[in-house]
Amino acid sequence: MHIFWFLPTHGDSRYLGTSHGGRAVTHGYLKQVAQAADELGYEGVLIPTGRSCEDSWVVAASLAPLTERLKFLVAIRPGIVSPTVSARMAATLDRISGGRLLINVVTGGDPDEQRGDGIHLSHAERYEAADEFLQIWRGVLQGEAVSFEGRHLHVENARALYPPVQKPYPPLFFGGSSPEAHDLAAEQVDVYLTWGEPLEAVAEKIADVRAKAAAHGRTLKFGIRLHVIVRETAEAAWAAADELISHLSDETIAAAQQSFARFDSEGQRRMAALHGGRRDRLEVAPNLWAGVGLVRGGAGTALVGDPQQVAARVKEYAALGINYFIFSGYPHLEESYRVAELLFPLLPVSAGGAGQAPNLTGPFGEVIANDIVPPKAAQPA
Global model pTM greater than 0.95: no
Residue 356 pLDDT > 70, yes or no? Answer: no
Give the 3-state secondary structure of residue 252.
helix
Homologous superfamily of the 2-76+171-346 domain (CATH):
Luciferase-like domain (3.20.20.30)
Give the 3-state secondary structure of residue 46.
strand
pLDDT at res. 370: 61
pLDDT tens-digit series, residues 174-227? 999 999 999 999 999 999 999 999 999 999 999 999 999 999 999 999 999 999
Cα 46 to Cα 56: distance, rounded to the nearest angstrom:
9
Q: How far is CA 166 from CA 171, 280, 373, in A?
A: 8, 47, 44
Cα 304 to Cα 320: distance, rounded to the nearest angstrom:
20
Of the two residues 169 and 260, the one the predictor is more confident about is 169
pLDDT at res. 359: 52
pLDDT at res. 311: 98
Residue 378 has phi, psi (to 5 degrees) of -70, 135
